[in-house]
Amino acid sequence: MLTAEQIRSFETDGFLVLEGFVPTERCERLRTHTEGLLRRIDPAESTTVFTTGGTQNRDDYFLESGDRIRFFWEAEALDGEGNLTRPKELAVNKLGHAMHDLDPEFESFSRQEGLAEVAHDIGLAEPLIVQSMYIFKQPGIGGEVALHNDHSFLWTEPMSTYGMWFALEDATTENGCLWALPGGHKLPQRARFRRVPGGGTALEEWGDPYPTDGLVPLEVPAGTLVLLDGMLPHGSEPNRSERSRHAYTLHLIDAGSEWPADNWLQRPPEFPFRGFRP
Ligand SMILES: O=C(O)CCC(=O)C(=O)O
């Protein structure tokens, strides 16, 4: 699926941009389907917001979402009492984290032709999809995603975490595209997010912060697939523009690696992680 040159580029940079991987009509179909899901959510279900930065102590509503489909609000969409200040469709930060196993439309997008081959080409002998997220990056209030690597949040022994990030809309520096540090996947691990005894989670950090010199914007059209090494520092800026920047992500690990019991995301034994086969 990938050429030797593309694999070399992924290994050198820690990311690879594949424009035109998904037909734009398929992106539009997923966006329309998700609009339907948003229409059906009940805002009374939760006041949980999703922001990054700080110690990231997540609540049970978040921690129980590994085998469900839950929604998380933008911080700027709620007032001091937790009331929505805008229509719910323009207030959700993201959906997560098991759409790929629970919703037929997401399931077929997540297991579309070509992805198993791509996962194999970047080094996953037996890929498992551990989570999915639909990220809205709402107009005006889409929150920043602080510079991080995905292995900090989805830890395996040894490191076998990879991300597949699909642009469902054009992503530019105006509406909060991804930024990445080419070659930064070779820097040492410097953080780990995990469940802590007594409940909740914490982000432990050590060593030097990631350098920000050398970060590059990944401005990509809808239909682009961006592959991310689990060690690669990446993030995105707030969206202060009038245009949304919808994206869908899958995170993968290798079945041969160990998934620690204190990772935030846990599945019951009767609902294990699955790979790309339907
Ligand atoms: O879409 C974004 O803005 C950030 C997504 C991200 O960092 C991730 O999926 O790991």
| Count: domains in the chain | 1
Q: Is 137 inside any structural domain?
A: yes
Q: How far is the CA of 107 from the centre of ligand 1 (A)?
A: 20
Q: What is the pLDDT of residue 262?
A: 97
Q: Give domain status of residue 133, yes or no.
A: yes
pLDDT in tens, 225-256: 999 999 999 999 999 999 999 999 999 999 99
| CATH code for the domain in which residue 80 is found | 2.60.120.620
Over residues 7-51, the pLDDT tens digits come to 999 999 999 999 999 999 999 999 999 999 999 999 999 989 999
Distances in Å between the alpha carbon of 184 and those of 12, 153, 210?
A: 9, 17, 8
Flag whether 276 is in a domain: no
CA of 175 to the centre of ligand 1 (A): 13
- Kindly state the percentage of the chain with pLDDT values over 90: 96
Question: Which range of residues forms the domain containing residue 63?
Answer: 4-254
Q: Is 215 helix (H, G, I), strand (E, B) or coil?
A: coil
pLDDT band at 81 (very low <50, low <70, confident <90, very high): confident
| pLDDT given for residue 82 in this prediction | 86
What does the pLDDT read at residue 167? Answer: 98
- Given a cut of 90, whether residue 53 has pLDDT beyond it is no
Tell me whether residue 264 is in a domain: no
> How remote is the CA of residue 104 from the centroid of ligand 1, in Å?
23
Q: If residue 235 lies in a helix (H) or strand (E), which one and from where to where?
A: strand 234-236
Pocket test for ligand 1, best of 178, 215, 250, 251 (most atoms within 8 A of CB): 178
**Neighbour tally for 20: CB within 10 Å:** 11
Question: Please, what is the average pLDDT of the chain?
Answer: 96
Whether 70 maps to a domain, the answer reads yes
Is the pTM higher than 0.95? The answer reads yes
Percent of the chain that is helix, strand, coil (3-state, to 5): 25, 25, 50
Distance between CA 17 and CA 224 in Å, rounded? 7
What's the pLDDT score for residue 96? 97
Tell whether 269 is covered by a domain.
no
* Domain-embedded: residue 89: yes
List CB contacts of 246: < 8 A, sequence separation 6 or more: 31, 34, 134, 135, 136, 137, 168, 169
pLDDT band at 194 (very low <50, low <70, confident <90, very high): very high
118-122 contacts, C-beta under 8 A, 24 or more apart: 118/1, 118/2, 118/18, 118/164, 118/225, 118/227, 119/162, 119/164, 119/252, 119/276, 120/1, 121/1, 121/2, 121/6, 121/7, 122/2, 122/7, 122/10, 122/16, 122/162, 122/227, 122/229
Summarize pLDDT for 119-168 with one digit per residue, the tens.
999 999 999 999 999 999 999 999 999 999 999 999 999 999 999 999 99
Q: Please name the helix (run of DSSP H) or strand (run of DSSP E) that holds residue 247, with its range, or none.
A: strand 247-254
